[in-house]
Structure 1
Amino acid sequence: MTSATSTAAKSAARTTHGAAGATARLVRTELTLIRRDPLTLTFVFVFPVVTMLIIGGSFGTTPTPGFDNVDPSHWYVASYLTVIIAATGLITVPVHLASYRERGVLRRFAAAGFPRWSFALAELVVGLFPIAVGSAILLAVAAPVYGVPHLHQPGRVLAAFALGSVAFIAIGVLLGSLLPSARAAQATGLILFFPSFLIGSGGPPPNVMGSAIRAVSGYLPLTRVTDAVRDPWLGIGSATTSLIVVALLAAFAAVAAIRRTAL
């Protein structure tokens, strides 16, 4: 009995080690492919930085009521980190995944014996990598130009940033798993991204928007993520409601994405 138990334990350990190794190879391959994607380089690494420099300098550096009495340039530095999250989740991830489905790559992964959960994990890493790099680039560029605003509540900011990243990556996985082609994913992602960007994060502050636009903005996931990151960062407020909404969105979207992409 002891010998049989030991043999079974060794077999399970080999299976676990093999699954972990296969998943690690998949993650490395995915990271290599995403670095070669010009769409990622443009929408995640370039677009937010250039737009932040232009918009951030348009309103000066004097705190005004329209920006909750904080430096407008700091308002946009904090806001544009979530633009990177949205660009990754709505454009990069869906196009990447839809192109795989279009070419039958997912079927090959399944036939090769990758663990069912491996692809979902790989897509999470693939999404988090450009978000982390893009955010570092944006802050490095902003620092000598506008300065990086002081973190008033770093714990809440990091929690909101992490949960928002998971939520949008999961949304991107869902889009990529539902849309029939990479071209369809790109078109849909752009249609979703630009309105969200303009009224949910990177456009004018809510205080100067019309009431109808402000009402629509309140229902956008990107608005909630932006509020949950920016408000505690700049000391405007805790944004507890937005943080809870983002956490729930991340949980539901992640579960749905894992189910859709199980090999």
Structure 2
Amino acid sequence: MMKLAVVETRLLTREPGALFSLLIPLFILVVFGSSIEPGDTVLLPMALAIAVGMVGLYLLPTTLATYRERGILRRLSATPVRPGNLLVVQLLLQLILAVTACGLLLAVAGTVLGARLPTGVASAALVFLLGTASMFAIGLLIAALAPNGRAANGIGVLLYFPMAYLAGLMQPKDQMPAMVARIGEYTPLGAFGQSLREVWAGGAPSPLLLGVLAAYALVVSLTAAKLFRWE
């Protein structure tokens, strides 16, 4: 298991998508953050949601679908290293990547941009875990359904942009039709982004939205497990 983790870590560090997952949210934060008040409670939560969404909807499903396409999962089933071990290692590595991306955003926002950081650390951690779990669950479902890595990447793109729009990550929610903005709050990325904004504003995240995130994480991951094919 440890050798597998070392090998997968090396492969991940060479993956261009991993670098993009770190740099694109950071670029958005720096470019737009220079013109926003330090007390802003929208931009940093938005950048965090974008970072997690990119890992969950792009990198994770593309990697797993590519492994299946190349027969790696099938070959692993005939060795002591079971395909399930690879899945666990990948989930852990992708989680570490998401945490690293968010940690980098927080560090730059707090030190360079003077952005407001949340005081409710426990609430922020809970929202992050549930939001990441829901994004990863969707990524696993994409990997389960996609015939190959290219298709997984395309499906991730097709899902990401509508979800990002509904979540208010591409257009301020106050400029969206009220009904669309309301519906967007109950999408996985929308519930995640809204919960982050509530924490950044100094309040407690909505129990309803936390329940929405937990429901997505549970139901979608169970569906993905049922549909996932190793070859």
User: Taking structure 1 as the reference length, what is the TM-score of the superposition?
Assistant: 0.78
Report what 1:183 is aligned to.
150
The one-letter code matched in structure 1 to 2:196 is V
Alignment length (residue pairs): 230
Report what 1:11 is aligned to.
none
Report what 1:32 is aligned to.
10
Residue 54, structure 1, aligned to residue 31, structure 2: yes
Contact 1:91–1:189 (8 Å) recurs in 2: yes
- In structure 2, what is the Cα distance between the partners aligned to 1:39 and 1:131? 12
- In structure 2, what is the Cα distance between the partners aligned to 1:262 and 1:181? 12
Deviations 1:204-244 (A, max 9, x none): 33223222431442342101111222212321443211111
Let me know the Cα RMSD of the aligned residues. Answer: 2.2
Correspondence 1:89-108 to 2 at 5 A: 89-108=56-75
The one-letter code matched in structure 2 to 1:239 is S
Runs of 4+ in 1 over 6 A off after TM superposition: none
The one-letter code matched in structure 1 to 2:88 is L
- In structure 1, what is the Cα distance between the partners aligned to 2:47 and 2:37? 16
- In structure 1, what is the Cα distance between the partners aligned to 2:48 and 2:158? 20
Q: Cα 1:201–1:36, aligned 2, differ >3 Å: closer, same or farther?
A: farther
The one-letter code matched in structure 2 to 1:24 is M
Contact 2:191–2:212 (8 Å) recurs in 1: yes
Report what 1:85 is aligned to.
52
Correspondence 1:234-245 to 2 at 5 A: 234-245=201-212
User: In terms of mean alpha carbon deviation, does 220-229 or 194-203 score higher?
Assistant: 194-203
Offset at residue 99 of structure 1 (A): 0.8
The one-letter code matched in structure 2 to 1:196 is M
Deviations 1:58-109 (A, max 9, x none): 5x318xxxxxxxx33x421122111111000110011111111110111011
Unaligned runs of 5+ in 1: 1-22, 63-70
- In structure 2, what is the Cα distance between the partners aligned to 1:224 and 1:28? 34
Contact 2:143–2:228 (8 Å) recurs in 1: no
Unaligned runs of 5+ in 2: none
Deviations 1:8-52 (A, max 9, x none): xxxxxxxxxxxxxxx33323322221111102211x111111112
Offset at residue 178 of structure 1 (A): 1.2
Q: Cα 1:215–1:201, aligned 2, differ >3 Å: closer, same or farther?
A: closer
Bigger radius of gyration among the two: 1
Report what 1:202 is aligned to.
169
- Classify the secondary structure of the residue corresponding to 2:174: helix
Report what 1:144 is aligned to.
111
Deviations 1:169-220 (A, max 9, x none): 1221221121011111111111211232234153333223222431442342
Report what 1:68 is aligned to.
none
Correspondence 1:163-178 to 2 at 5 A: 163-178=130-145
- Classify the secondary structure of the residue corresponding to 2:136: helix
The one-letter code matched in structure 2 to 1:38 is P
Q: Cα 1:97–1:116, aligned 2, differ >3 Å: closer, same or farther?
A: closer
Residue 154, structure 1, aligned to residue 121, structure 2: yes
Offset at residue 262 of structure 1 (A): 7.7
Contact 1:150–1:234 (8 Å) recurs in 2: no
Choose from 216, 223, 247 the match for 2:190. Answer: 223
Contact 1:83–1:201 (8 Å) recurs in 2: no
Contact 2:118–2:201 (8 Å) recurs in 1: yes
Offset at residue 256 of structure 1 (A): 3.3
